[in-house]
Structure 1
Amino acid sequence: MKEHLILKNISRHISLSDEETSYFLSLLKEKKVQKKELIIQHQQPCKDINFVLSGILRAFYRDASGKESTIMFGVSDWWITDMYCFINEKPAMLNIEALEESLILQLSKDNLDKLYCKVPKFERFFRIMMQNAYIREQLRTIENLSLPAEERYYNFLKKYPLAAERVTQKQIASYLGITPEFLSIIKTNKQKNSCS
């Protein structure tokens, strides 16, 4: 049952009756996403929050010169969207693309609002989820300001163990805010240290 993973995710913070579960599942839309397909595109409406059932997604910002900065990865059992634009119904600031064929469940902003009215405990679930996301991003900002690139890379490996082997060195480097060449040096040093 594909829905098992999202229900397990939700059960970490709230308990649902059978009726509430059925209602929640009725609001979701399943979408198969091809590799390199964008589910959210810069300057386009951001209408859905996405739960990753399988595959891997990458949220990134592209500046005026075309340089990409990876904001986050979305792996199985993760939620991903351009949160500011989703909540405020603004055009997306980010792009979110599939790095491999992926399967996601989408919840639209309209359906989220209906869910809050019919099953108010979902306000608690999404509040906790957003608090955790805020804390994660605050810690990441502090790490970027205070830690050397090597430590940021080791933290990346702990945070995204499923993604580390499945994304490109360039994408990891853009997440860490370093060049792919410097990341290569870090990885080489890590291998030397683990062999000695």
Structure 2
Amino acid sequence: MYNAFFDYLKKYSSTPLSGEDKAMIRQNFTPLRLRRKEYFLQAGDICMDYGFIVKGAMRMYSVDDKGLEHIIRLGLEDWWMGDRESFFNRTPSRYHIDALEPCELLVIKREGDAELVNNIPAYIEMKMKLDDAAESANNRRLTSALTDTAGKRYADLIERYPAFAIRFPQHIIASYLGISKDTLSRVIRNNKLK
């Protein structure tokens, strides 16, 4: 499991990991397995762990007063999952996070994250690049939700993340895009006719 994370760090950092760095990472990340539909976090709990997905698919979502799920984030291998606000501020989460497939994760606590930030340059570099990428992705998603048609949102999503169409059911993708299942079915049907 750890080798997957070391390979991931190489993609996001020009600084090589020393043997000491790898040992410190192993000390601070703990393997965790989740069964399909098992919760990683439930709304109202404090997010004590942040997870790096080694294998599997996950979702982060809220549930409104009518019982409707609104998917905030989807995650696959080499993605991170957790409620960042709850994790760093120690506040109750507004979100549920669960496994859509059996998952293998490496999880880290806030104190472990701080130790790695203070001691491993490659980890700091990776976090900075991910923060920049996450802000860009969030801005792009918000702008798209406000200005783009359902068809354009779906096309952009599948172009950017083609594995989503294979790994996630249509009702999950529809919720993530903020559209109904019927609208998504229509969009997909119209794209096939073109």
TM-score by length of 2: 0.93
- Tell me, in whole angstroms, the C-alpha distance in 1 between the residues paired with 2:139 and 2:160: 14
Say whether the 8 Å CA contact 2:56–2:102 is kept in structure 1: yes
- Equivalent in the alignment of 1:94: 95
Q: Does 1:34 align with 2:32?
A: no
User: 1:186 — aligned with what?
Assistant: 187
Q: Supply the AA of the counterpart residue of 1:29.
A: T
Q: CA deviation at 1:163?
A: 2.4
**Per-residue deviation, 1:184:** 0.6
Match of 1:146 in 2: 147
Pairwise CA distance, 1:153? 0.4
State the one-letter code of the partner of 2:108. L
Contact 1:32 / 1:101 at 8 angstroms: preserved in 2?
A: yes
Matched, 1:17 2:34: no
CA distance, structure 1, for counterparts of residue 54 and residue 122 of structure 2 = 23
Aligned residues: 192
Equivalence for 1:8: 7
Per mean C-alpha deviation after superposition, the further-off stretch among 183-192 and 12-21 is 12-21
CA distance in 1, matches of 2:121, 2:95: 29
1:165 alignment partner, SS class: helix
Which residue number corresponds to residue 104 of structure 1? Answer: 105
| Contact kept? 1:52, 1:78, Cα under 8 Å | yes
Task: Judge conservation of contact 1:56–1:163 (CA < 8 Å) in 2.
Answer: no
Which residue is equivalent to 1:159?
A: 160
Task: State TM-score, norm by structure 1.
Answer: 0.92
Q: 1:133 corresponds to which letter in structure 2?
A: A
Structure 1 residue 127: deviation in Å? 2.2
Comparing 120-129 with 35-44, greater Cα deviation is found at: 120-129
Q: Compute the displacement of 1:62 (Å).
A: 1.1
Question: Following the alignment from structure 2 to structure 1, what is the Cα–Cα distance between the partners of residues 61 and 161?
Answer: 16
Alignment gaps of 5+ in structure 1:
none
Q: SS at the partner of 2:67?
A: coil
Look up the equivalent residue of 2:155 and give its one-letter code: Y
**1:192 is aligned with what amino acid?**
L
Q: CA deviation at 1:9?
A: 1.4
1:51-130 to structure 2, matched below 5 A, reads 51-119=52-120, 121-130=122-131
In the TM superposition, what is the alpha-carbon distance from 1:123 to its structure 2 partner? 2.9
Give the conservation status (yes or no) of the 8 Å contact 1:49–1:108: yes
Secondary structure at the counterpart of residue 111 of structure 1? helix
2-structure distance, mates of 1:135, 1:151: 18
Equivalent residue of 1:106, what SS?
A: strand
Measured on the aligned residues, the alpha-carbon RMSD in Å equals 1.4
Fraction of identical pairs, as percent: 27
How far off its partner does 1:71 sit? 1.1
**2-structure distance, mates of 1:111, 1:92:** 20
Deviation at 1:187, TM superposition (A): 0.8
